[in-house]
Amino acid sequence: MDFLSNFLIRFLTQLQSPTLGFLIGGMIVASLGSRLSIPDPVYKFIVFMLLIKVGLTGGQAIRDSNPAEILLPALFAVVIGILIVFIGRYTLCMLPNVKIEDGIATAGLFGAVSGSTLAAALTLLETQGIPYEPWAAALYPFMDIPALVTAIVLSSIYTSKRRGTADEYLSKQEYSSKQGITARGYPNKKHERVKIWPIVKESLQGSALSALLLGLALGLLTQPESVYKSFYDPLFRGLLSVLMLIMGMEAAARLKELRQVAQWYAVYAFVAPLLHGFIAFGFGMIAHYTTGFTLGGVVILAVIAASSSDISGPPTLRAGIPSANPSAYIGASTAVGTPVALALGIPLYIGLAQALMGG
Amino acid sequence: MDFLSNFLIRFLTQLQSPTLGFLIGGMIVASLGSRLSIPDPVYKFIVFMLLIKVGLTGGQAIRDSNPAEILLPALFAVVIGILIVFIGRYTLCMLPNVKIEDGIATAGLFGAVSGSTLAAALTLLETQGIPYEPWAAALYPFMDIPALVTAIVLSSIYTSKRRGTADEYLSKQEYSSKQGITARGYPNKKHERVKIWPIVKESLQGSALSALLLGLALGLLTQPESVYKSFYDPLFRGLLSVLMLIMGMEAAARLKELRQVAQWYAVYAFVAPLLHGFIAFGFGMIAHYTTGFTLGGVVILAVIAASSSDISGPPTLRAGIPSANPSAYIGASTAVGTPVALALGIPLYIGLAQALMGG
Amino acid sequence: MDFLSNFLIRFLTQLQSPTLGFLIGGMIVASLGSRLSIPDPVYKFIVFMLLIKVGLTGGQAIRDSNPAEILLPALFAVVIGILIVFIGRYTLCMLPNVKIEDGIATAGLFGAVSGSTLAAALTLLETQGIPYEPWAAALYPFMDIPALVTAIVLSSIYTSKRRGTADEYLSKQEYSSKQGITARGYPNKKHERVKIWPIVKESLQGSALSALLLGLALGLLTQPESVYKSFYDPLFRGLLSVLMLIMGMEAAARLKELRQVAQWYAVYAFVAPLLHGFIAFGFGMIAHYTTGFTLGGVVILAVIAASSSDISGPPTLRAGIPSANPSAYIGASTAVGTPVALALGIPLYIGLAQALMGG
């Protein structure tokens, strides 16, 4: 019981951290009907600033690191990304009132990664003084892209099997064009093999992954130390607190949307982040004992798995699974999945790592 | 005469402070027809940053303070907020060419509080090394809300007494819907008692008060020190200078609007801030001698009274007094009231406090 | 050959500087089709922040400097601004498939100055430890305005000589009104002398020059040290890196536009910045030997000449030469001229100055 009471004390302390405090503050403020809002261009710029900073840190770290070290964690990230989507395919999709395509898209989004959640975890690890490999943030695309690819492939296989009629095909096209999205050679046509590369490319071209990879490249190839120390690093925590506020407000606003789809989405969105995190924590421990992956790195792997994409994932899924209902997957991720990952998942995995470090 | 010459020297020095320098610079630049502008989303974010910082400071201060201390100044703030509206009701509204509803709304706006003016005063107090209670900024809502409530109640009483005809009622409704504002159970229907709570709620839900109260709550209940010291506090003065520039440009732009309404608005907007500030300074001195309220705190109370709302007030008034002409009250506040409070009021009250401290 | 190899080493080092690294990163990211973008309001605010900082630095410097010092460099700046437009008039405009008005407008834009390029040069000079007169940035308007005025006057003379028919005149008016631009007393009417003052005023009222001059005035007349040190100065390099990223992405995007006009624009846009910079470097060396103008100042003069306007110039040219095709001049400047000035020009002139300092 000592572990539990220690954990609860740590948990309550972490809720007072600015990161989680602003998240919860945002949820309360929005649910009280406040007209407070952070303008969208500022929100987008904050996300850019955080991801390019995470990338710069990683890029500079990779310069001095052994590339072999990253292999096993990266492989595990790929495996977890694919696994999460299969879990969703054979749990969420089997539940009553859940449309198969909606379920697969939701699972894809929960397999994909949230840069904001990752940034929050990095900050909390630093506050708690838990060391981690600075390149650990670079695991992001290794889980994100396989999850999205798997979701789109599974959805395409399902659609092919169902032997859609011409009418259905047409209505789907219509839906897609109403959303102003072109499918760009995506797996809409029957009896055609799903092309992987366009999905990967679409993911990489998304604003979140682009910013992260640009940061990685600049950190690796240029000398960004002067701007990193004077600008990107000092602003990181403050901008993160603003982002948490926005995410809290967004979560409260999306809750209404979520109420309009099957309640099973809310159940999945609550359970899945924690479960995915524990699975990844287990994989991470294997790397910990075999290759010396730090416990901080294990936490990051768990958080990446627990997080669900809020920026880069949705557009890729809209284009890749045009028949899925965005309200279902975006609502589940933003209103429940992300707050659960942030306010329960991160403190949980950090607490677990601290308990293991103490032992 | 020593006081006056000292005061003039101080006054000229304060005009060179970045805060007032940027305000005057903005007025000059805009009146020369420059196309320089700070984008609106940036403006909104700056206001958020300033108010949440003021709130965080206050919240952290309240943690360590005696809650009894705040009682008398808070009570005085309420009294002054109500008094200002009554003064406007029996001066401005009596003048020729001033529509009663417009006059009441203007008085309400001048009773309400401007977060930007408050932020400017806090900065100047710090520059001058004058100590003040850090929770003094928390007096904001104690004056803001009573002033807006009083204005809406007085306007409603006036409307009821006038025994409006059905036609008038309809035209009013029309005006309100043209503005895209729903009256939300506001006192439009005749012979019905004015409901106070919706007005209070509307005020509290405004973006300015929400940000301030959120900051207060986060400062009180969480541990925001790390982001406060690395982000909100260091950016405060710089962002304030940008905000002052915007307010100066806005004042010059609104001057044209003000010219289209009765000139008495300009006279009121010039005299009222200074008068309200002196009244509040007097009340503050009572608290100074009875409960040891600092002279810096007295200045803050005076500035809160001198300031007129630029962000949170107008939407509440539009909904609460839909028959009043926004050009009249917003023009009077933005074009004349706020610059007078900033460039004359603040230096005046600080000079007065310094003279009293020297004595 | 020693100079060349030293120069190449320096050149490669400078490409790794954050300034140029972000520029090239932006070009690569955008040409790979990324959806990464920095919202426009943030872009505008960054430009404002950089120019007001450059102005504040200059203004504070002028306070302590000898006004006579600035005379010769300022005179040279005027001469170079006019000369650049004449060079363009008698080279670019003579080439096949180049419309005379388009060529003159392009030359005007290349004579005008880019605040971002100037900011990048100042940062690199500081990184390399090369001293320069802090007021050197104030040379900006002395080249910018004469170049734009000369271009509009030359275009007007050309139009008058061509003896346009009434039909032509009408079609021109139509084009102008389609662009939502009123000519504001500009030289559209035949047989009328070109009025210089409206062009100068239009330039001065542009957002870029307004911000720079406002900063100069505030630096000269107020005491902005506190906000300068805590806000404008520390954020300068970081914001510049973001701006370089935007400019890189913008350059890649504009390249497509440029392909639709005569290829001679691309040739001109590549050669002109380097040539203009060398001419200005020569003039600067005269000032160096006669009045002791620093080599850092010579570099700044060269960079101002090499740069082409990206913010303030285009609207003035649209109003002043409504018959010119904006795709031609904006494309040439943004897609080729600015990257060449930044990535080749600045390292070249700094290398040259360093070689001369070593000699």
Average pLDDT of chain B to the nearest whole number: 86
Which residues in A have their CB inside 8 Å of a CB on C? 39-42, 44-45, 48, 201, 204-207, 210-211, 214, 217-218, 221-224, 226-227, 230-232, 235, 315
Residue A271 — very low, low, confident or very high, per pLDDT cuts 50/70/90?
very high
CB contact under 8 A, C218 and B22: yes
Q: Considering only CA atoms, give the Rg of chain B.
A: 20
What pLDDT score does A293 carry?
95
Per-residue pLDDT for A170 more than 70?
no
Q: Considering only CA atoms, give the Rg of chain A.
A: 20
> Residue A358's closest CA among A77, A91, A10?
A10
Where would I find the beta strands (DSSP E) of C112-262? none
Q: What is the DSSP letter of B324?
A: S
CB contact under 8 A, A218 and C37: no
Q: Which tens digit of pLDDT belongs to each residue from C296-340?
A: 999 999 999 999 987 778 888 888 898 999 888 998 999 999 999
Q: How far is C11 from chain A (nearest CA, A)?
A: 13
**Lowest mean pLDDT across A144-148, B174-178, C128-132, C237-241:** B174-178
Residue A268 — very low, low, confident or very high, per pLDDT cuts 50/70/90?
very high
**Lowest mean pLDDT across A131-145, B333-347, C174-188:** C174-188
Residue keyed to tokens 């101080």:
B10
Q: Please list, in sequence order, all residues whose beta carbon lies within 8 angstroms of the beta carbon of residue A89, skipping any fewer than 6 positions away.
A: A103, A104, A107, A154
CB contact under 8 A, A41 and C37: no
CA distance C280 to C275: 9
Q: How far is A5 from chain C (nearest CA, A)?
A: 44
Sort out which chain A residues have CB atoms less than 8 A from C33's CB and list them: 201, 205
Sort out which chain B residues have CB atoms less than 8 A from C315's CB and list them: 35
Residues C309 and C143 sit within 8 Å (Cβ to Cβ): no
Show which subunits contact C, needing at least 3 CB pairs below 8 angstroms. Answer: A, B
The ipTM estimated for the assembled molecules is 0.84
Residue B256 — very low, low, confident or very high, per pLDDT cuts 50/70/90?
confident
Please tell me whether residue B164 adopts helix, strand or coil conformation. Answer: coil
CB contact under 8 A, A227 and C237: yes
Average pLDDT of chain C to the nearest whole number: 86
Q: Please list, in sequence order, all residues whose beta carbon lies within 8 angstroms of the beta carbon of residue B186, skipping any fewer than 6 positions away.
A: B152, B195, B198, B199, B319, B320, B322
Q: Which tens digit of pLDDT belongs to each residue from C32-81?
A: 999 999 999 999 999 999 989 989 988 888 887 887 888 999 999 999 99
> Residue C147's closest CA among C32, C29, C22, C272?
C272
Nearest CA in chain A to C16: A222
Per-residue pLDDT for B132 more than 90?
yes
Q: How far is B219 from chain A (nearest CA, A)?
A: 10
CA distance C326 to C315: 10
CA distance C343 to C19: 9
Sort out which chain A residues have CB atoms less than 8 A from B230's CB and list them: 234, 237-238
The H-assigned helical ranges of B32-182 are 40-63, 71-90, 100-111, 115-127, 140-161, 166-178
Interchain CB contacts (distance < 8 Å): B and C? 78
- Nearest CB to A237: which of B211, B222, B231? B231
Mutate to test the interface with B, among C202, C209, C226, C233 (most CBs of B within 10 A): C226
Q: Residues B189-209: what's their mean pLDDT?
A: 77
Nearest CA in chain C to A48: C38
Which two tokens mark C159? 């139009």
Q: How far is B106 from chain C (nearest CA, A)?
A: 32
Interchain CB contacts (distance < 8 Å): A and C? 78
Sort out which chain A residues have CB atoms less than 8 A from B39's CB and list them: 41
- Nearest CB to C218: which of B21, B36, B235? B21
Q: Residues A64-82: what's their mean pLDDT?
A: 91
CB contact under 8 A, A41 and B44: no
What pLDDT score does B177 carry?
46
Three-state SS for B223-249 is: CCHHHHHHHHHHHHHHHHHHHHHHHHH
- Nearest CB to A230: which of C25, C39, C234? C234
CB contact under 8 A, A210 and C237: no
Which residues in C have their CB inside 8 Å of a CB on B? 39-42, 44-45, 48, 201, 204-207, 210-211, 214, 217-218, 221-224, 226-227, 230-232, 235, 315
Nearest CA in chain C to A202: C34
Residue A259 — very low, low, confident or very high, per pLDDT cuts 50/70/90?
confident
Sort out which chain B residues have CB atoms less than 8 A from C232's CB and list them: 238
Q: Please list, in sequence order, all residues whose beta carbon lies within 8 angstroms of the beta carbon of residue A273, skipping any fewer than 6 positions away.
A: A110, A306, A307, A308, A337, A340, A341, A344, A345
CB contact under 8 A, B210 and A34: yes
Sort out which chain A residues have CB atoms less than 8 A from C34's CB and list them: 204-207, 210
Please tell me whether residue A219 adopts helix, strand or coil conformation. Answer: helix
Mutate to test the interface with B, among C197, C221, C222 (most CBs of B within 10 A): C222
H or E element in which residue C151 lies: helix C140-161
> Residue B238's closest CA among C56, A224, C217, C64?
C56
Which two tokens mark B147? 């002033």
Which two tokens mark A243? 């982002």
- Nearest CB to C33: which of A45, A205, A214? A205
Per-residue pLDDT for C177 more than 50?
no
Nearest CA in chain B to A15: B222
Q: Which tens digit of pLDDT belongs to each residue from B80-105?
A: 999 999 999 999 999 988 999 999 99
- Nearest CB to B16: which of C44, C48, C223? C223
Nearest CA in chain C to B38: C45
Residue C164 — very low, low, confident or very high, per pLDDT cuts 50/70/90?
low
Per-residue pLDDT for C179 more than 70?
no
Show which subunits contact A, needing at least 3 CB pairs below 8 angstroms. Answer: B, C
CB contact under 8 A, A16 and B211: no
CA distance C73 to B313: 52
H or E element in which residue A281 lies: helix A264-291
- B198 vs A284, higher pLDDT: A284
What pLDDT score does A182 carry?
41
Residue A178 — very low, low, confident or very high, per pLDDT cuts 50/70/90?
very low
